[in-house]
């Protein structure tokens, strides 16, 4: 039997969740407070860049299983399961700001009360939240809907931007936190079509489920920070981090993924989730020393890349910088906490001219930098009269460029590569001055 599912918040998580649940046959009503966004979706426009989403989005709208509205009341009177896919941005002190989650919980509670809805409803928290949030949501709803029959489920989302549809359709695992057997059954039923490959659905208590998400992100961030620190060490002692990565990644206890050194992690999840976990642990009187170090190493990594470029610009009297890649990683238009932004901030503060290019992420960049930087029409245009090319995001199209076109634009054959996109041999052959991460710098001899 299809469920009537309300998805509240249609960002990267909500829109993918809603579309994929519609694709598996459910009737989905997506609610957002952003009227403009809802209008665009009603007209058939996908408001985010996420590979594979468009096809599913269009099909399910056409087949009347996917609808959009700003009207939460419509969802409460027609759905029995609500997925809260709301932002949980960092507060000033680093803790997760729960205002959106708790506001929607209260609104749903009030509407349940207003319509005297007595059948069982399930509120599923998909946002990334600190331990104890399920309890807060339960108290919030109970306070305004004393007669309602509801349960709260924590169902953290593990999708990766850029692979969100694939990850949702074939999750490595689904985590369901609930002590209510009826809700657990509904969740198993909803996720069954996505776990036919045998991947597990773990039903845990709410608190364990809440901890899972922060634990996963902190662990992944830890691998990145570990490799970044090791890269700096390799660079100093003359080793090559990529060779080290191949060698240690072949150990099945370590594995190959998330071992790439770079300019530091960014995005809408790792930075805020690491900080929120630290804050939540501090509140509980527990010190997470490793996680604290992960955060510090990341901040250092972002600034040390900038310092290297600054040193070169000072030495060469350069002032114009081409930047390839603005999104915090490839295959997304998301620029939240993007390392490119830290870099551009620093360059602008030094009075540099920045000529930027990204295949998808101009919208967020324009909001942040307006006309303070130039937005190039393609990757080669960004290089025109630039003193140095800096690669910040490893989009596929940057991997095998036409070097003649780069050279036609650049004043000097100098590349700072924050993602180790090119091999050292190639850059040495081509006569570039080439600085990457955790590998020896190539500095051609002056004739
Ligand atoms: N983006 C990711 O890769 C990812 C992955 C896993 C988990 N998460 C978590 O999922 C949550 C959502 O993340 P996101 O990236 O989808 O956020 P997002 O900012 O892209 O989208 C949130 C949406 O919620 C809407 N919204 C805000 N208040 C609302 C309200 N009162 N009623 C209805 N809609 C409202 C916003 O307009 C926006 O469209 C966060 O907690 C995040 O940490 C994100």
Structure tokens belonging to residue 185 = 């059954």
CA–centroid distance, residue 156 to ligand 1 (Å): 12
Structure tokens belonging to residue 162 = 């850029």
Q: For residue 1, what pLDDT is reported?
A: 85
| CA-12 nearest atom, ligand 1 | 16
Full DSSP string of 352-407: -EEEEE-SS-HHHHHHHHGGGSEE-SSTTGGGTT-SEEEE-S--GGGTS--HHHHH
The Cα 107–Cα 110 span in angstroms is 5
Q: For residue 447, what pLDDT is reported?
A: 53
Whether 100 lines ligand 1, by a CB cut-off of 6 Å, is yes
The Cα 114–Cα 111 span in angstroms is 5
CA–centroid distance, residue 15 to ligand 1 (Å): 9
Report the residue among 6, 8, 14, 134 best suited for mutation to probe ligand 1: largest number of ligand atoms under 8 A from its CB: 14
- Residue carrying the six token digits 């597990």: 200
Q: Where in the chain is the domain with CATH 3.40.50.720?
A: 4-204, 240-447
Whether 103 lines ligand 1, by a CB cut-off of 6 Å, is yes
The Cα 114–Cα 311 span in angstroms is 64
Structure tokens belonging to residue 272 = 């805020």
Whether 34 lines ligand 1, by a CB cut-off of 6 Å, is yes
Whether 96 lines ligand 1, by a CB cut-off of 6 Å, is no
CA–centroid distance, residue 127 to ligand 1 (Å): 7
Whether 127 lines ligand 1, by a CB cut-off of 6 Å, is yes
Report the residue among 69, 85, 267, 364 best suited for mutation to probe ligand 1: largest number of ligand atoms under 8 A from its CB: 85
Whether 32 lines ligand 1, by a CB cut-off of 6 Å, is yes
| pLDDT average per 10 residues of sequence, the chain (447 residues) | 96 97 98 98 95 97 98 98 97 95 98 97 98 98 97 97 96 97 97 96 98 98 98 97 98 97 96 97 97 97 96 94 97 95 97 97 96 98 98 97 98 97 97 98 84
CA–centroid distance, residue 269 to ligand 1 (Å): 11
Instruction: Confirm if 48 and 31 have CB atoms less than 8 A apart.
Output: no
The Cα 182–Cα 190 span in angstroms is 13
Residue 245: partners with Cβ closer than 8 Å, 6 or more residues away: 227, 259, 260, 261
CATH, range 240-447 = 3.40.50.720
Residue 139: partners with Cβ closer than 8 Å, 6 or more residues away: none
Nearest to 117 by CA among 145, 90, 141, 144: 145
In three-state secondary structure terms, 32 is: coil
Structure tokens belonging to residue 408 = 């036609």
Whether 7 lines ligand 1, by a CB cut-off of 6 Å, is no
Catalytic residue positions, numbered: 269
Residue of minimum CA distance from atom 43 in ligand 1: 128
Report the residue among 7, 11, 99 best suited for mutation to probe ligand 1: largest number of ligand atoms under 8 A from its CB: 11
CATH number belonging to the domain at 4-204, selected among 3.40.50.720, 3.30.980.10, 3.10.20.600, 3.30.360.10: 3.40.50.720
In three-state secondary structure terms, 155 is: coil
Whether 18 lines ligand 1, by a CB cut-off of 6 Å, is no
Nearest to 359 by CA among 331, 400, 339, 381: 331
Nearest to 263 by CA among 358, 354, 333, 329: 329
């Amino acid at each position: 039997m299809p469920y009537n599912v309300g998805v509240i918040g249609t960002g990267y998580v909500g829109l993918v969740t809603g579309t994929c649940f519609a694709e598996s046959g459910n009737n989905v009503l997506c609610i957002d407070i952003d009227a403009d966004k809802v209008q665009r979706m009603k007209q058939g426009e996908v408001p985010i860049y996420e590979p594979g989403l468009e096809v599913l989005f269009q099909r399910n709208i056409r087949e009347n299983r996917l609808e959009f509205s700003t009207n939460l009341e419509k969802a409460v009177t027609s759905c029995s399961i609500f997925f809260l896919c709301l932002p949980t941005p960092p507060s000033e002190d680093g803790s997760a700001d729960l205002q959106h989650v708790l506001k929607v919980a209260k609104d749903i509670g009030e509407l349940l009360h207003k319509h005297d809805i007595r059948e069982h409803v399930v509120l599923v928290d998909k946002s990334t939240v600190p331990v104890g949030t399920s309890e807060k949501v339960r108290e919030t709803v109970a306070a305004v809907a004393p007669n309602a029959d509801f349960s709260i489920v924590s169902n953290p989302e593990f999708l990766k931007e850029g692979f969100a549809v694939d990850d949702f359709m074939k999750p490595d695992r689904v985590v369901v936190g609930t002590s209510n057997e009826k809700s657990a059954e509904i969740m198993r039923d909803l996720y069954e079509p996505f776990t036919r490959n045998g991947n597990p659905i773990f039903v845990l208590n709410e608190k364990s489920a809440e901890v899972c998400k922060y634990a996963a992100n902190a662990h992944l961030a830890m691998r990145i920070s570990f490799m970044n620190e090791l890269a700096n060490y390799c660079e100093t002692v003359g080793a090559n981090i990529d060779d080290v990565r191949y060698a240690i990644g072949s150990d099945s206890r370590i594995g190959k993924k998330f071992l790439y050194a770079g300019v530091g992690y960014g995005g809408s999840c790792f930075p805020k989730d690491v900080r929120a976990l630290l804050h939540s642990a501090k509140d509980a009187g527990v010190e997470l020393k490793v996680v604290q170090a992960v955060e510090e190493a990341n901040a250092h990594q972002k600034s040390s890349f900038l310092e290297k470029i600054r040193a070169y610009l000072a030495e060469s009297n350069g002032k114009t910088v081409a930047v390839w890649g603005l999104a915090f990683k490839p295959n997304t238009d998301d620029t939240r906490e993007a390392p490119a932004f830290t870099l551009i901030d620093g360059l602008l503060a030094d009075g540099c001219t920045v000529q930027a290019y990204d295949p998808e992420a101009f919208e967020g960049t324009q909001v942040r930098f307006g006309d303070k930087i130039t937005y190039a029409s393609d990757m080669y245009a960004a290089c025109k009269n630039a003193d140095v090319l800096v690669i910040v995001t490893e989009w596929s199209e940057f991997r095998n460029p036409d070097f003649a076109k780069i050279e036609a634009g650049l004043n000097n054959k100098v590349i700072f590569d924050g993602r180790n996109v090119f091999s050292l041999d190639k850059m040495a052959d081509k006569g570039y001055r080439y600085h990457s991460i955790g590998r020896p710098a190539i500095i051609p001899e002056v004739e």
